[in-house]
Amino acid sequence: MKKILVIHGPNLNLLGEREPSVYGKVTLENINKKMKIRAKSKNVKLEIIQSNHEGEIVDIIGKAHNNFNVIIINPAAYTHTSVAIRDAISASGIATIEVHLSNIYSREDFRHTSLIAPVSKGQISGFGEYSYILALEAALKLLD
């Protein structure tokens, strides 16, 4: 069975209550549920984690080698700062899709740079919870 690893970065556990005008009112649990239903319908296994800790995310990506076919990651604030997560993705050799709920290019200047994008297969940004569904569809396409 093909496997996709979904990683939610810092503060995404707060979705639903965190700045709803930017990130919407949907909870992470709800997003995960929708992704799982879609993955199951395609006979693909999803493993989903959320972490507020850079080192933990690096460890998880480091162990993904040989275990997962695709990574979907919303690195959240680490998108703009983490060379360590970028290097972990690069070292893993696993096709990675970067996701953002908000359009990072229409927000503050510091969000316009993604250290993750150059080591990703592609990036989806700006479609709210639907960004994750689009990312999952892209991942399923990569698995075909």
Give the residue numbers annotated as catalytic, written as ranges. 23, 100
- What is the binding site for ligand DQA (CB under 6 A)? 11, 74, 76-77, 79, 100-102, 104, 111
115: which residues sit within 8 A by CB, 6+ positions away?
A: 79, 80, 81, 82, 83, 85, 86
Residue among 112, 118, 86 nearest 9 (CA): 86
**Cα(38)–Cα(67) distance, rounded to whole angstroms?**
20
Residue (45 or 137) nearer to ligand DQA, CB:
137
Q: How far is the CB of 111 from ligand DQA (least distance, A)?
A: 4
Residue (3 or 107) nearer to ligand DQA, CB:
107
Q: How far is the CB of 60 from ligand DQA (least distance, A)?
A: 17
